[in-house]
A and B are shown apart, each in its own frame.
Chain A
């Protein structure tokens, strides 16, 4: 039990639709990161939010966007879904830099785009 919860656990969407995935971080954790894990691959960094501001972004198009709220929850929004967006989406929360603390991962949301 990491204290990081994601919802929903599974989701099926149609190509072209929009989706919102949610993450509740550990209390007090001001940093949240989102990762995409395609089947059989390692997670890929999407972006990070620190105190409600985007603090870094990986190689993902603008149709991937996010929000972080004062209550330590966050959202990942994906517009115009494509079949290749099918993956496990993981969020991770931390209190500080990963050199000084640990990132705690949620169990993930498995998104299937059909």
Chain B
């Protein structure tokens, strides 16, 4: 079974600083990888996903992630943090059918003024 590990349950950055949220998955290569964001009292919103092709994926709100098979990683980055980026972020992988999602434990991003 797939597993996803997000290093750092809490990450704090200053406004304007680089955001780096880490995600590693278990060794068998999942078909698809995802990053979701969850704002307080809301559901999950898709930021970006990797399916095939280019390993650098661009998403909404200036976020991007790079799939590195050799490192079994799919880290999420944003060059310059904004106060509105404060939220919980979840990395997820799909099963072979592309249906069931396995989520990491989440990283809470805090942005300091």
Main secondary structure of the interface of A (DSSP, over half): loop
Is the C-beta of A77 less than 8 angstroms from some C-beta in chain B?
Answer: no
Which residues of A are at the interface with B, using a C-beta cutoff of 8 A? 2, 4, 31, 33, 35, 40-45, 48, 55-56, 58, 90, 92, 97-100, 102-103, 105-108
Q: Would you list the 6 A-B pairs with minimal beta carbon distance, nearest first?
A: A42-B103, A105-B43, A97-B98, A99-B98, A105-B44, A98-B98
**Residue in B closest to A48 when the chains form the complex, CB atoms:** B99
Contact across chains for B44 and A43 when beta carbons are under 8 A apart: yes
Contact across chains for B103 and A44 when beta carbons are under 8 A apart: yes
Contacts of A43 in B (CB 8 A): 44, 90, 101, 103
Contacts of B97 in A (CB 8 A): 56, 97
Contact across chains for A56 and B103 when beta carbons are under 8 A apart: no
Bound together, the chains give a CA A102 to CA B95 distance in angstroms of 15
